[in-house]
Amino acid sequence: MDPVFIAAGFVVLAIVYGVYRRYSYISLADVPGPESASFIMGNLKELYQGQAAEADFKWQAQFGNIVRFRGSFGEDQLMISDPAALQYILARSGYRFPKPHDRRTLSQMMNGKGIFSVDGDNHKRHKKIMLPGFGGPESKAFLLLFKNCAESMCNKWMEIISHSKEGSVVFNIPAWVSRATLDAIGEAAFDVRFNSIDNDENALARSYRGLMTDVFGSPSDGMLLFQDISKYIPPRILKYYIEMGKSPRITRMRETGNLATSVAKQLVKDKAEMLLGGKGSRDIFSLLAVKANMDTNAKAKLTEEELFAQMRTILAAGHETTSNTISWALLELARWPDIQSRLRAEIWETEATVHARGDVNFTIADFDAMPYTAAVIKEVLRLCCVAYHVHRCASQDDILPLSQPITTRSGEVIRELPVPKGTRIVVSIAAYNRNKELWGEDAHLFNPDRWLNGTAKEKKVTSIGVYSNLMTFLGGVRFCVGWRFAVIELQAFLTEIVGKFEFAPTDKTELIRREACLVMSPTIEGEVGNGVQLPLRVSLARRTGKGCQTPGCR
Ligand code: HEM
């Protein structure tokens, strides 16, 4: 065929395609949102350089639950906290809104090829294998173990306080709690004792300490820009860059990853020997490994590499999240002494019932009968959601349903929102958790009573969150597998800690920042370089009353 004729054919096809794209392309430019500060950086600095979700709350107040903002070089992106749109993105559309590939590469670098970094059928396989380890009965069985880990930490605090002249000590709370929760995850997930409460030198505990602030805290303009354009870099090249990169942040992440993998390999070896010797145990990993290796269907198995990655994922996801949540909880209780006292009163009252029936430890049924404790925990998870954002991407042109109509910049009222293929979506967990429609007019305030007086809409028509309709543990196909585990751990830790100690603010309390580093971690204004810090003054909780046998009684 004549080459000129072929070339002309291509040109015509290109023009037809160009015209088609021009008139079929869905634009987000008319969706309300903040003005872009610069063409190159868009709104990225405002969104990612402030404290965690600071921009989200500001934009939500100004523009509502659907906000169009600019990424780098004028790209339109969406920040969403609308319940119906989120239900559609996370649940109803299945895997049509996957994680963007740059986020998956990042997860892979942090945790290996585990559940965080896969999508579609592959993700279904991972989740199916993991879920049996995290069911209701499995998680409830860890209650005593969590209590014991919290008790070890409390015993250390008591010893230190007993040597202090003032009868109180300022502790950097997360430095202690993260060791206790690492011990808890070690034992619950792998039946291994890290003993990091007793041994501050534990290598894994030291390596995880401050990891997120070191790697993701205080991002420079260059880092933000790189993160935003990394979606255009082919996954293999991005992975190569991350694996070979020499920057201190990348090196820090890689070193922790290598250490976690070597711990995971040793655990797998020990566990395999135990299981072969017929000594199976009920820890999560034994359940997972047995399931992964015994399934006759090869497609339902995990490879050895995936198994290591799963362990790294559980180690990382299972202790920083709960540790930070407990630390934020104690900060709120220090700020609100009346709430702290009311919580302690319920804990002591239940403890008296437990002792009266001849028991030493609380059971799950006891927690079920503690409405104020439950309300405090829900309120902490709502207001201090440590995972404040997740990212998704539209894999095709799509239409988002909306809970409430929005008025576009040109004045049109729309009840559903068309989004073009490739749109990056920031799911604002934090903004959803402060949606006034769901949680009341005082949604920015720490007020556990909202869960008792019917203000909190736990059972809204558009139900999405797995726990009390909160978005904290996400919902839909990628809901947090560890949510029951986390809630029971919070119950056990808070009951133990608040039952024994009183928490008061220090002169640093008002300087505490909600540091945005993928997991919201506490730091101090002016001392961000010192890493995770949340100092509180801790003293023994004094009981009054005759016959009291417990520490702190007078
Ligand atoms: C307060 C504590 C916790 C919070 C706030 C939390 C939050 C979350 C969130 C928001 C996600 C979704 C991430 C995404 O899709 O990008 C997630 C996923 C996950 N979480 Fe948690 N989590 C907590 C505790 C735990 C614990 C204790 C474990 C394990 C022991 C755990 C294991 C996981 C795993 C394996 C996933 C991946 C699920 C999937 O992709 O299907 N989490 N978590």
Minimum CA distance residue for ligand 1 atom 16: 390
pLDDT value for 357? 93
DSSP-derived 3-state class of residue 76: strand
- CA 133 centroid distance within chain: 19
- Looking at residue 38, the DSSP 8-state letter turns out to be B
Closest C-alpha to 362, from 492, 489, 470? 492
| Cβ pair 102, 237 in contact under 8 A | no
Q: Please tell me the predicted confidence (pLDDT) of residue 244.
A: 83
By the 10 Å C-beta count (0-12 exposed, 13-18 middle, 19+ buried), 526 is classed as exposed
Shortest-distance atom of ligand 1 to CA 103: 16
- 3-class SS of residue 108: helix
Residue minimizing CA distance to atom 23 of ligand 1 = 321
Q: Which atom of ligand 1 is nearest to the CA of 185?
A: 30
Q: What is the mean pLDDT of the chain?
A: 89
pLDDT computed for residue 224 by the predictor? 92
Pocket lined around ligand 1, Cβ cut-off 6 Å: 115-116, 127, 313-314, 317-318, 321-322, 325, 385-387, 390, 472-474, 478, 480-482, 485-486
Backbone angles phi, psi at 275, to 5 degrees: -65, -40
pLDDT at res. 206: 82
- Ligand 1 atom with the shortest distance to the CA of 313: 35
Ligand 1 geometric centre to CA of 478 (Å):
9
CATH number of 27-540: 1.10.630.10
Q: Whose alpha carbon is nearest atom 9 of ligand 1? A: 473
Q: What are phi and psi of 21, to 5 degrees?
A: -65, -40
| Amino acid present at 103 | R
DSSP state of 404: E
CA 48 to centroid of ligand 1, rounded, Å? 21
Centre of ligand 1 to C-alpha 46, Å, is 26
- Ligand 1 centroid, distance to 473 Cα (angstroms): 6
Closest to 294 measured CA to CA, from 279, 314, 275, 313: 275
Can you give the pLDDT at residue 549?
47
The continuous run of DSSP H or E covering 11 comes out as helix 3-24
- What single letter denotes the amino acid at residue 394? A
Mutate to test the pocket of ligand 1, among 115, 122, 138, 321 (most ligand atoms within 8 A of CB): 321
* Ligand 1 atom nearest residue 474's Cα: 10
Q: How far is the CA of 481 from the centre of ligand 1 (A)?
A: 6
Q: Are strands 424-428 and 76-80 parallel, antiparallel or unpaired?
A: parallel
Distance 28 CA to ligand 1 centre (A): 31
Minimal-distance CA residue to ligand 1 atom 7:
473
Please name the residue whose Cα sits nearest to atom 32 of ligand 1: 482
Residues paired with residue 536 on neighbouring β-strands, in sequence order? 171
- Where the chain has pLDDT below 50, the residues are 546-547, 549-554
Q: Specify the length of the chain in residues.
A: 554
- Give CA–CA dist 91/81, Å, rounded: 14
Whether 480 has a binding-site annotation, put simply, is yes
Per-residue model confidence as pLDDT tens digits over 31-49: 999 999 899 999 999 999 9
Q: What ipTM is given for this predicted complex?
A: 0.99
Residue 138's pLDDT is what? 86
Helix (H) or strand (E) holding 410: none
The C-alpha angle with vertex 195 and arms to 260 and 212, in degrees rounded to 5, equals 40
pLDDT at 552: 46
Three-state SS at 492: helix
Instruction: Give me the pLDDT at residue 1, please.
Output: 61
pLDDT tens by residue, 297-307: 666 678 888 88
Collect all residues with Cβ–Cβ distance below 8 Å to 29 and sequence separation of at least 6. 68, 76, 409
Tokens of 504: 């008061």
Question: 21 CA distance to ligand 1 centroid (A)?
Answer: 39
Q: Which pLDDT belongs to residue 49?
A: 94
Candidates 480, 485, 487, 521: which one to mutate for ligand 1, based on the most atoms within 8 Å of Cβ?
480
463 CA → ligand 1 middle, Å: 19
Pick the closest to residue 212 from 552, 520, 543 (CA basis).
Answer: 520
Domains of the chain, residue spans: 27-540
* Whole-angstrom distance, CA of residue 481 vs CA of residue 387: 14
What pLDDT, on a 0 to 100 scale, did the predictor assign at position 192? Answer: 82
Contact 170, 506 (CB under 8 A): yes
Question: For residue 451, how far is its CA from the centre of ligand 1 (angstroms)?
Answer: 23
Number of helices (H) and strands (E) in the chain: give both, helices first. 23, 11
Residue 374 and residue 145: Cα distance in Å, rounded? 20
Residue whose CA is at the smallest distance from ligand 1 atom 30? 318
